[in-house]
Structure 1
Amino acid sequence: MKTKLYFLFIFCLAFTANKAFSQAEIKLEKETHDFGTIAEGTQASYEFKVKNVGNQPLIISAVQPSCGCTTPEWTREPIQPGKTGLIKAMYNSTGRPGPFHKSITVTTNAATPTQVLYIKGDVGPKDLKLNYTPEQKAMSPRLALGSTTYNFGKLEKGQKAVAKFTVKNNGREPLVIQGVKSSCNCVSFKVSEQNIKAGQTATLELTYVPMVLKDQNEVVNILSNDIIMPDIRLTLRANVVESLATQNMLREGKQPVPFR
Structure 2
Amino acid sequence: MQINGFWAGFLLIFLLPGVALAQEPRLLAESTDFRFGEIYQGQQLEHSFRLENTGDGPLLVEKIRSSCGCTAALLSDYQIQPGQSAQLRVTFDSTRFRGPVVKTVYVYTNDPRHRVAQFYLRGQVTPELVLEPTRVDLGALESGAVGEAAIVIGNVGPQNILIEDIQTDLQDVQATLSSKMLLAGESVTLHIAVAPGEGAVKRKGYVVMSTNSSYTPVVKVPVSFSVMGKAQP
Q: What is the TM-score with the length of structure 1 in the denominator?
A: 0.44
Greater percentage in strand: 2
Greater percentage in helix: 1
Q: What is the TM-score with the length of structure 2 in the denominator?
A: 0.49
- Please say which structure displays the higher CA radius of gyration: 2
